[in-house]
């Protein structure tokens, strides 16, 4: 999507990583920090999309929204919802979407580890979970948002034969994704090496990896 980003300078205090406790369900925290995203039970989609319909595609951890925005142009008939834990990015991208009058894109400030009860079961065509924070140290593995409960929630949301897309430039995280998918036995799994099979626009992180010749892995998991 062609946008003059000079009109939307990124926040000066933007950090790549955020507080670790945002990756834990609120019920597991002794005290709720002030920067923790709100819990959401219901959403009126009329407040987010011009046609008032629910989203068909979820971009989990959408960051600066490059993929989200590009997909809205490629899929004008579909509503796309970005979900991001960094409020500073959510506010920035929400302003861009509104001022550019993009009718089928929206973003919310939320952490998926609390579940997605505001989205109907068997309603989603695609879930994108691309280049998440890797938390590579063993003592930090519990901070990875992609875990059994989150995978079960993704399964609930997806239509039969709908797709979950995963990508990472950290081999250990790729193996973590594969292990959880295989243990769940809820998806048919394909490791993607052909760009045509992937079929998605490039994220900011993927573009960086390609420029720096950094290897990354991709998976498409199809709901059984």
Residue 80 near residue 68, CB atoms below 8 Å: yes
The 3 state secondary structure assigned to 178-191 is: HHHHHHHCCEEEEE
CB-based contacts of 87, cutoff 8 Å, min separation 6: 35, 37, 109
Is residue 188 part of the annotated active site? The answer reads: no
Catalytic residue among 59, 94, 133, 217: 133
User: What order do you get walking across the sheet with 105-109 strand by strand?
Assistant: 105-109, 80-84, 57-60, 124-130, 158-168, 217-223, 187-192
**How far is the C-alpha of 46 from the C-alpha of 93, rounded, in Å?**
19
Which residue, 117, 197, 137, is CA-closest to 165? 197
Distance CA 145, CA 205 (A): 18
Based on C-alpha coordinates, what's the Rg of the chain?
17
Q: Quick check: helix, strand or coil at residue 65?
A: coil
Give bridge partners of residue 164 from the DSSP assignment: 127, 221
Active-site positions read: 133
């Amino acid at each position: 999507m062609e946008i003059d980003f000079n009109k939307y300078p990124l926040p000066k205090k933007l950090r790549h990583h955020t507080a670790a406790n945002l990756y834990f369900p609120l019920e597991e925290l002794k005290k709720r920090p002030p920067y923790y995203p709100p819990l959401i039970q219901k959403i009126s989609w009329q407040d987010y999309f011009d046609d008032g319909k629910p989203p068909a595609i979820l971009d989990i951890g959408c960051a600066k929204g490059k993929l989200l925005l590009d997909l809205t142009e490629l899929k004008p008939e579909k509503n796309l919802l970005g979900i991001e834990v960094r409020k500073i990015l959510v506010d920035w991208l929400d302003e861009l979407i509104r001022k550019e009058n993009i009718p089928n894109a929206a973003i919310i400030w939320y952490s998926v580890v609390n579940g997605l009860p505001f989205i109907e079961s068997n309603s989603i065509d695609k879930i994108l979970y691309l280049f998440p924070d890797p938390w590579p140290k063993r003592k930090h593995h519990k901070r990875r948002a992609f875990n059994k409960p989150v995978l079960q929630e993704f399964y609930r949301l997806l239509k039969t034969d709908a797709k979950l897309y995963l990508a990472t430039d950290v081999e250990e995280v790729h193996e973590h994704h594969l292990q959880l998918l295989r243990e769940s036995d809820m998806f048919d799994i394909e490791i993607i090496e052909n760009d045509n099979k992937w079929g998605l626009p490039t994220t900011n992180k993927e573009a960086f990896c390609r420029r720096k010749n950094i290897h990354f892995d991709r998976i498409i998991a199809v709901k059984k």
